[in-house]
Amino acid sequence: MQVQWFPGHMTKASREIKENIKKVDIVIEILDARVPYSSRNPLLKKITSQKKRIILLNKEDLADPAATRMWLDYFQREEGTLPLAVSAQNRKSLSRITPAAKQLCAGSRWLERRPVRAMILGIPNVGKSTLINALAGKRKAGVANTPGFTREMQRFDAGPGLQIFDTPGMLWPKFEDMHSGFNLAALGSIKDTILPIERIALFTVPYVTAMYDGELRGRYKWETVPEDPVRFIDELGRKRGCLVSGGEVDREKACFLFLKELREGKIGRISLERPGEERKVRGDGEIISGDGQ
Which of 57, 230 has the CB closer to ligand G4P? 57
CA distance 238 to 254: 8
Q: By rule CB under 6 A, what string of x and - marks binding of each residue 28-47 to ligand G4P?
A: --------------------
Contact 54, 120 (CB under 8 A): no
Contact 219, 64 (CB under 8 A): no
26-32 and 52-58: which strand pairing? parallel
- 146 near ligand G4P, rule: CB under 6 A: no
C-beta atoms surrounding 9 within 10 Å: 15
Which of 125, 209 has the CB closer to ligand G4P? 125
CA distance 123 to 82: 19
Contact 57, 122 (CB under 8 A): no
- 136 near ligand G4P, rule: CB under 6 A: no
Residue nearest to ligand G4P (CB): 127
Which of 14, 58 has the CB closer to ligand G4P? 58
- 127 near ligand G4P, rule: CB under 6 A: yes
- 261 near ligand G4P, rule: CB under 6 A: no
CB 13, min distance to ligand G4P, A: 13
Q: For residue 140, with 0-12 CB atoms within 10 Å meaning exposed, 13-18 middle and 19 or more buried, which class applies?
A: middle
Per CB under 6 A, contacts with ligand G4P among 98-117 are: none
Q: By rule CB under 6 A, what string of x and - marks binding of each residue 57-96 to ligand G4P?
A: -xx-xx------------------------xxx-------
Could you tell me which residues are beta bridge partners of residue 55? 29, 83
- 237 near ligand G4P, rule: CB under 6 A: no
CA distance 221 to 36: 30
Candidate ranges 96-104, 119-127, 160-168, 203-211; the one touching ligand G4P (CB under 6 A): 119-127
Which of 87, 183 has the CB closer to ligand G4P? 87
CA distance 236 to 216: 10
- 125 near ligand G4P, rule: CB under 6 A: yes
Could you tell me where the DSSP H helices lie in the chain? 7-20, 44-47, 65-77, 91-94, 97-104, 128-136, 178-186, 197-211, 213-220, 229-239, 251-263
Among 15, 47, 130, 231, which residue interacts with ligand G4P (rule: CB under 6 A)? 130
Q: Please, what is the end-to-end C-alpha distance for the chain in angstroms?
A: 22
Q: By rule CB under 6 A, what string of x and - marks binding of each residue 2-21 to ligand G4P?
A: --------------------
CA distance 113 to 123: 32
Per CB under 6 A, contacts with ligand G4P among 158-187 are: none
- 262 near ligand G4P, rule: CB under 6 A: no
CB 86, min distance to ligand G4P, A: 7
Which of 56, 249 has the CB closer to ligand G4P? 56
Binding footprint of ligand G4P on the chain (CB under 6 A) = 58-59, 61-62, 87-89, 122, 124-130
